[in-house]
Amino acid sequence: MKLRITYAALACALLLAGCAAGEGTAVSSSAEPAVSTAAEPAITPEPTMEPTPQPTPAPTPEPSSLLEYTTLPLDNTKKTPANYWTAYFENPSNPAAVDYARQLAMGLYNNDVDAVRAACSDRVLSGDFPLNDLDGLNISAFSLEGGRYDVPYLSLTVTDPGNTPFLRGRHIYYLNYDETGKIRWLSPSLSNDSPQSIGLASYRASLSEDVAFCGYASAELTNPLGLTWGPATLHCYDAYWVPNEEDDGHHYENRNEQDLGPVDAPPYGITSYDVPPEGNSLTGSQLENVCEALNKRFSALADGSYMGEFDASPGNDALLSAWDAAVPLPVAVTPEALRSCASQDNWGAPCAEIWVPLPQNCWAVIKTNAHHTGSEGIIDDSFSFNYYQTVPAALAAVLPQ
């Protein structure tokens, strides 16, 4: 047993000595080559190419943000009402309606709430009457027109609406009577076919002689008189000419009517939607000439010195025939802010339409003969401004291409 232990110890010692020689001393050439455990040199990775950042496109500025605006100055001096009665204002089927309409007009002119209420129907007075407070209202002039051959209306020149919902400036309010002749509604919209709702703005595109595409916004009245309303709703339909069965005439028939949902009510009493041009049909020099002519007019409107083609002296009539006082007036325009497109004048001759941006996605549009006259006569006083709101997105999505 002792001998076996001695041999085992000797073998273990020899094994340990061999291991030590392999790690720290040289070995004979007949020995197996040692495997190096030194670390391999590090491989430098190829640099990763970062993607070139693409510039974020700048948001398209709101066209009206390129301009500065002011309000049109108006003369608060009251005119003599008797000079503004119109002889053709009458209602042969109900003469009492004429008297009530005059009582309403005079009541508004004189800030007489009792007279205004006395001219309105029980239906109007039973709801939320919007003319109970006439403090601050200033009407410098008015006229009553229509009634026999046209829808009767009251034209008011309001220099300060006070606490009323009337629009500033000269605007038309259509009259409707009950069976006793009292005022049933006083609406800025001719399309007020129902005493419960009002038409706010419309768009119409003629696709052919037989088909027209129409869109319109309407709202429920929040008071029975027709001067204030609730949220607007957008609708559209195709209208077709169809022959009448009983005669040789035709009539429109609506098809494919859609309810497009809620939409913002047009501001400033603007009653038309339209699609602005994308760019300009005029050259750079023509746009410069147009800007010069427009800015002369805007400057004269802003300081009250504007005179229309048939006006011998400055005055409200000249101002109000040149610009709607309920609409912001540009202080000055630049070519970058304007848009233009080809059109026809009142006599069918080619001309251009100039689109001036206004706040709240609205535009003032005037025709010009800039195609023909260079810098002379760019803006003709016989052309007035028309006001449009950009077609709402929901309506634009379904417009015929």
- The rounded distance, in Å, linking the Cα atoms of 387 and 201 is 11
How are beta strands 169-177 and 339-344 bridged, if at all? unpaired
pLDDT digits (tens, 9 = 90+) for 230-262: 999 999 988 887 777 777 777 767 778 899 999
Burial of 176 (0-12, 13-18, 19+ CB in 10 A): middle
Most confident of 20-34, 104-118, 272-286: 104-118
- pLDDT for 29 beyond 50: no
DSSP E strands in 65-210: the ranges are 69-70, 138-145, 153-160, 169-177, 183-187, 197-206
Average pLDDT of span 258-279: 93
Q: In whole angstroms, how large is the CA radius of gyration of the chain?
A: 40
Helix or strand (DSSP H, E) at 358: strand 350-358
User: Higher confidence at residue 60 or residue 20?
Assistant: 60
Q: State the amino acid at position 271 in one-letter form.
A: T
Place of tokens 């009541």: 107
Which pair of tokens denotes residue 284?
């750079």
Mean pLDDT of the chain: 81
- pLDDT for 264 beyond 70: yes
- pLDDT for 119 beyond 60: yes
Which pair of tokens denotes residue 224?
């029975």
- The rounded distance, in Å, linking the Cα atoms of 186 and 188 is 7
The band of 89, judged by pLDDT with boundaries at 50, 70 and 90, is confident
pLDDT digits (tens, 9 = 90+) for 133-176: 999 999 998 988 887 778 889 999 999 999 999 999 999 999 98
Of the given ranges (16-30, 64-78, 282-296), which has the lowest mean pLDDT? 16-30
Residue 19 has what pLDDT? 44
pLDDT digits (tens, 9 = 90+) for 298-328: 999 999 888 776 665 666 777 888 899 999 9
Contact 229, 208 (CB under 8 A): no
Contact 166, 111 (CB under 8 A): no
- The rounded distance, in Å, linking the Cα atoms of 324 and 328 is 8
Residue 313 has what pLDDT? 61
Selection from 141, 140, 139, 121 nearest residue 129 by Cα: 121
Beta-carbon contacts of 119 under 8 Å, excluding residues fewer than 6 positions away, are: 100, 101, 103, 104, 107, 182, 183
How are beta strands 329-330 and 339-344 bridged, if at all? unpaired
Average pLDDT of span 386-392: 95
pLDDT digits (tens, 9 = 90+) for 181-240: 999 988 887 765 567 888 899 998 887 777 888 999 999 988 888 898 999 999 998 888
Residue 31 has what pLDDT? 47
- The rounded distance, in Å, linking the Cα atoms of 262 and 234 is 6
pLDDT digits (tens, 9 = 90+) for 347-357: 777 888 999 99
User: Higher confidence at residue 308 or residue 281?
Assistant: 281
pLDDT digits (tens, 9 = 90+) for 30-84: 444 455 555 566 666 666 666 777 666 666 678 999 999 999 999 888 877 766 6
Cβ atoms within 10 Å of 7's Cβ, excluding its own: 9
